[in-house]
Chain A
Amino acid sequence: MHARLPSPISISVRSGARAPRMALARLMSGLAPLHLDVEEAGTVELVLAEVLNNICEHAYAEAEDAGVIELSCRQGPGGLIFGVTDDGHPMPNGQTPLGMQADLDVDLMDMPEGGFGWFLIQDLAKDVRYERQGGRNHLSLRIAVAVLPPI
C-alpha cells in the first residue's frame, strides 16, 4: 500500500517552550493519511522535535528574540521532505553541527545529559541541508518513510 499525502503540510507557530509540542501535534495529525507505523511515526516526531527544540533554544535563545517557525512537509520519491524556516540567530559557523555520538566511556556521574539532538537528526534523517538566506535560517531534510513507488 502506498498511501499519499493529499497535499503538502504547512504549519506556522510562534517560538516558545510549548511551540514544538504544538507544531508536532499538528504535523502528526496532518500525516495521519499516510498510516505510518509506530516506528516510522516515532522517527518523524523525534527528528522534528530535535529541530524545533534547537530553534527555540538557540536560534530564538532569548525571550525578546521570539519569532515565527515555519514547518512544511511534502511527499517526494525518497520519502517525506521537510523544510523548517526561522528568523532567529544563524547556526554557529554557518553550518549544522556534525552530531557526533556522545562519549559514554566515562564515569557514571560524568554521563552526558545533552548533546544528543544533532546526533539523532543526522542519524535518522537524510539530505540535511542548511542555508542562511535573507536573515532567515532554512533547514531541509528527508526522512525515508512513506516512500512512493517509481513511476
Chain B
Amino acid sequence: MDLSTETEERATVVHVNEDRIDAAVAIEFKEAMRGATAEAPGRIVLDLSQVQFIDSSGLGAIVASMKLLGGDRRMALAGLTPTVAKVFRLTRMDSIFDVFDSVEGALTAGAARG
C-alpha cells in the first residue's frame, strides 16, 4: 500500500498512490493509515484522486482509519473519482466526512475555519 504524506499548516495530507482500495488490500490500507496518521499533526486530508475504485471493504477501511484518529481529530476526503463518490453517496457515508473536490479546497476550507 503506497501512501505518501505532506505536512501543511494545521493539516496532514495523505496521498493514496494506488488505483484500488478493495477487499484484497483493506487491512493493509488500514495499517498503513495507522502508521501515516499516528504522529501526524492537525486534521487529516485523505487525497483519493488516484483511486478509481473502492468496494465496501475499502469503504470500511477508510471509516476505520477515521476512527483511529480518535474522536478529536477530523478527516477530510478530497478528489473523489466517480465510482468512489458513488460508494460514499449510496451508503450515505459522505455525511460523516468533510468531502472536497480537491486537496487545495480541503486545505483552504480548513484554514478559513481556523
Contact = CB atoms under 8 A, between A and B. Distances in A.
Interface of A: 17-18, 20-21, 38-39, 41-43, 45-46, 49-50, 53, 56-57, 101-102, 104, 107-109, 111-114, 116-117, 119-120, 123-124
B8 to A, nearest CB: 23
Contact of B92 (A45, A50, A101, A114): A101
Overall SS of chain B's interface: helix
B90 A38 contact: no
Contacts, number: 86
11 contacts: A17-B23, A20-B22, A20-B24, A42-B86, A46-B83, A46-B87, A50-B56, A101-B92, A104-B92, A107-B71, A113-B64
Contacts of A123: 90
Contacts of A21: 20, 22, 24
A41 B83 CA distance: 9
A56 B83 contact: no
B86 A104 contact: no
Could you say which interface size class chain B belongs to? Answer: 20 to 34
B55 A53 contact: yes
Contact of A46 (B60, B63, B86, B96): B86
A104 B97 CA distance: 12
B93 interface: yes
Best-buried of A53, A107, A108, A113 by chain B (most CB within 10 Å): A113
A101 B91 CA distance: 7
Given A113-B64, A117-B56, 11 more contacts: A46-B83, A49-B22, A49-B23, A49-B55, A102-B92, A108-B66, A109-B71, A111-B63, A112-B63, A113-B67, A119-B91
B82 A116 contact: no
A46 B83 CA distance: 8
Nearest to A43: B86
Interface string B10-33: 000000000010111000000000
Contacts of B96: 104, 108, 111
Interface in B3-61: 20, 22-24, 53, 55-57, 59-61
